[in-house]
Amino acid sequence: MFKYILKKYSVHIEIISLILCIFLIYKLIMLFIQKLQEQFFKNNKITTSLFFESLQTPFKWCFFAIIALLTLEFINSQFRIVHKFSTITIQYSIIVIFFSWVIIHFCSTIREHAIQRNDIHYDKTSVLAFTQIGTVITIIISILMELQILGVHIAGILAFGGFSGIAVGFASKDLLANFFGAMMIYMDKPFKVGDWISSPEKPIEGEVDSIGWRQTKIMTFEKRPIYVPNSLFSVIIVENPSRMSHRKIEEKILIKHSDFDKINKITDDIKEFLINYPKIDNSQRVTANLITVSHMALEIQIYCYTTHIDSISFGKLKQEILLKSAKIIENNGAEIVEIIATSKIQNV
């Protein structure tokens, strides 16, 4: 009796066993990929960890798509539903889609990770450029491969594209100009994401938020976004205060005319203080001189450079210098009329 049942349902048992084996293989592969991702993440190999993270979703869908096609082909071979039924072309297409999906998903994951990181030594601009270029190239290659699999002659399409490309180029010259403008930004790197830039020719000033293929997004002091076409950066002057080596400190202090005889002592004391101050670069110009005698007051100029370029440190340094200079003037028995600040504090 048992042999009869076993013989009768042997096909069903084999199918169930095969399905269970397929699911077991799938689970083992997914578990292996996840373990690799976690291991590389623990070893601080973030890029490799992100690759295995990007691999999981494409593998899941493409794996079951291949299994479904093979199942259909097996059923057709048993029951002869359709003559000359073959899924080999679709299988090749799925393989191309799988590798393309993995690369595009990996580029997207890397890009999102780069945007979220706040490490100032992390070059977000280069990452964004390479991921965008990689995505475009992958899409183009995958389309050409799919056409080749479907039996379309690529040579004819490429020849037609050469002639039609001229017409498209004239029709979309502004778009192409912005595209090549983005390429120049990526290659020459006059600025990168996170830099504070401005232009003396155009009302453009703010922090670079993102660099796209057509336009660059800049956030202003008022947190208002400006969208600048990339082609504009090839014809205007761009200042990048984020890359300056020093900041200039230039302050003017006005004292009373009655303190004329104390000027030499005051300027000597201020200059000595600046030269000995550790936050001032003595290799650059350091001066404290009387520059103007007006009808209002005697004007002393303080001029020096510091390597503290971020706005918060620079603001504190200016405060320290002004307070110390005011104290020196007070100790010499002179009286301040006014302090005129000429050095700007930019948000770098």
Q: What are the pLDDT digits (tens) for 203-220?
A: 999 999 888 888 999 999
Q: Which tokens sit at 201?
A: 């020719």
> Measuring CA to CA, how many Å separate 125 from each of 49, 132, 171, 190, 214?
21, 11, 29, 11, 15
The yes-or-no answer to whether 173-242 and 244-341 have a common fold is no
In this structure, the strands spanning 225-229 and 204-211 are unpaired
Is 166 or 258 the better-scoring residue by pLDDT?
258
Q: Tell me which long-range contacts 229-234 makes (C-beta under 8 A, separation of at least 24).
A: 229/174, 229/177, 229/178, 229/181, 230/177, 230/178, 230/179, 230/181, 230/182, 230/184, 230/185, 231/174, 231/177, 231/178, 231/180, 231/181, 232/181, 232/202, 233/181, 233/184, 233/185, 233/190, 234/181, 234/184
Domain definitions of the chain by residue range:
2-152, 173-242, 244-341
For the cut 70, the answer to whether the pLDDT of residue 2 exceeds it is: no
What pLDDT is recorded for position 288? 92
Question: Which stretches of 133-262 are assigned E, i.e. beta strand?
Answer: 196-199, 204-211, 215-219, 225-229, 247-255
Residue 300 bridge partners (DSSP): 253, 290
Share of residues in the chain with pLDDT > 90 (%): 22
Task: Name the range with the highest mean pLDDT among 94-98, 176-180, 184-188.
Answer: 94-98
For the cut 80, the answer to whether the pLDDT of residue 96 exceeds it is: yes
Average pLDDT over residues 312-328: 90
Q: How confident is the model over 133-170, as pLDDT tens digits?
A: 888 889 888 988 888 888 777 666 666 555 555 555 55
Domain 244-341 has CATH 3.30.70.100: yes
In angstroms, the CA 341 to CA 283 distance is 23
In angstroms, the CA 296 to CA 255 distance is 9
Question: What is the CATH code for 173-242?
Answer: 2.30.30.60
Tell me, yes or no, if the pTM score tops 0.85.
no
Share of residues in the chain with pLDDT > 70 (%): 83
